[in-house]
Structure 1
Amino acid sequence: MFDMPDFDAHEAVTFVHDAGTGLAAIIALHSTHLGPAAGGTRFQPYASADAALTDVLRLSRGMSYKNAMAGLPMGGGKAVVLQRPDTVKSEAFLLALADAVDALGGRYVTAEDMGMSEHDMVVLARRTRHVAGLPVAAGEVGGNPGPMTAMGIFLGMRAALAHRLARVSFTGVHVALQGCGSVGTALAERLAAAGARLTLADADPLRAAALAARLGGTAVAADAIMTTSADVFSPCAAGAILDDASIAALDVAIVAGAANNQLATPGDGARLAARGILYAPDYVINAGGIINVVAEYLGRGDPATVNADIAAIEGRLAAVFAEAARSGRSTDVVADSMARRLIGRD
């Protein structure tokens, strides 16, 4: 593990196995320099345990960068739970996961991510207090982080439009959006309300078709969305989708979306820049959800304060874009440099 390309002086990596429930999970703490390592739990199939380990190493590092760039007093961590054909996400299964989180003594704070729900967090909270993303009453901060993530993506995309296309409005802007889950749907709704033209795709074609029909957009096959001619490509599903081949096939001016770890390799940011495509670093633009979750966990702030903190994503990205243009470096390199200074790893 220590020789893996994505191992970046992670402080701790915990392998969890519970024979009684079949739980197999990995919890990675990248940095606690700024505070407890915060990041959601992901429940999904993996091709192998090595693939899961690579994913959690990359995701936890991304959370360190995300939380630092968002100005949060939290470090970065992540948990991945391996979904196998015979896996049953039972109450006992979730409680075993909660015990693993609690055993870290507050060094790791979790919330829902792909494949997990608010209800799952409620079950975890029965055994550990180091969990957020719980249901909240109207007027309180917290709850499902998806809509807040979408809000940040929308505002960050607006910064990208201003920088790359000198546009101040979404009216008539064509967005090709990949992934119609919680975040993708909330983002599509915001974009449609602002006058954008939408092309949507999802692994579930019926879900994309239904959302497109409701919002007046167009649905295309999942394997066609990345070659759609548009102003913006917005990846809101799986990560590592931007590689040499897919970048060469893009027909957009901007990439700005919610997916984590969008770049497959460290050189892919430079490939985007070489093609004149403005890339909004994923962990900067998609921080809205964690801003909301941290406010809930720390018991501070109100919806107005959280909204103001999320609104700062727009200016933060504008600063990244400006520095990239000034220095000639790609936006991902600029953002990484900023984040690493903040966590004491420059």
Structure 2
Amino acid sequence: MRATWKDGNRFELLPEGKRFWPAMREAIEDARHYLWIELYLMESGSLAERFIDALTSAAARGVEVKLMLDGVGSMGLSHGDRRRLRDGGVELRFFNPLAVTRLGGNLMRDHRKLVIVDGVTAFTGGFGIVDEFIDAWYEVAVRIQGPVVEDWMRLFAHVWNSPLTRGDGTRTRLTRPFPGASVPAPFADGMRGRAIWGRGHRYQAIRLSLQGRIGTSRRRLWLCTPYFVPTLSLRRALARAARRGIDVRLLLAGGGHHDHPGVRYAGQRFYRRLLKAGVRIYEFQPNFIHAKFSVVDDWVSLGSCNFDHWSLQWNLEANQEVDDAEFAAEVAQLFERNFAASEHIDAESWARRSWGQRAREWLFGTLNAWVTRLK
């Protein structure tokens, strides 16, 4: 399967849970044929309870519901909730459950976030079914309609059919043509887009696509990620772009709300050289920004992929790319609003940071380097 550009799509930017949760809930409630859902994080709680109610209600009215969760990201989902899903008619499967016989293989996780409704509409972003996503975390999603939805279906089917995906009972295999599905017709006024993915094992088409765009950028290069521990090649590409006059900005998670502070410290050890090259760095302050999106000139990438070694080397990831000036302008406006709510890190103030801060950067940077050598 190749990542191919398709015309005639519609993409709707859905920033913050107050916009994308109602949109997804409405789409799930309107489903008539099938729901295919792929998630990394799902934990028991208020949001999970409502989500399970929506899925079992869909199954009760005859909708085929397939839910695929990561074997690690779903460890917080109780046995009772798993039983409710299965008893309610939801086919539940888990990608790569932990196994003592596959120590290195346990590192590869399914980090994708995907909701497909009737083969007509899809949603992707960085969301999960965890209570923190409702209000405490800042997240962004995109609603997808048009021919590119078929590629998202193929991505789902590929992992669903994988021997690493386990479940109880009879194994249902997805084959094309998908049941009840037809290729969505293009919209006359639609946009150009493609689904792009990473397969783990140190091969990431998402990273290669981004670096290609960085190399040809002309005006702006703005990246948002909560976990910034980039590869050497990506760091060099960002620095080169800044030195040739491109407006390079990073929107990163601030320290007060970060769920993995050690990852933040590991990435901060790269600030000095990036700032020296002319990269502008902003740390988001209102809450934990968990969104992953980028805009390079008129190109946008939005989805599950972080800029750390886990996403870039090990995880299954997937992003929606859009090549459209109006959509890029809308994403740029979102960036501007978030820059205004962030602390701007400048080279002078960063040079005055405490020795305690420097020690944490060294410690967690060393640990991160060690972990990357495990595979």
TM-score using structure 1 length:
0.33
Bigger Rg, which one = 2
More strand by share: 2
TM-score using structure 2 length:
0.31
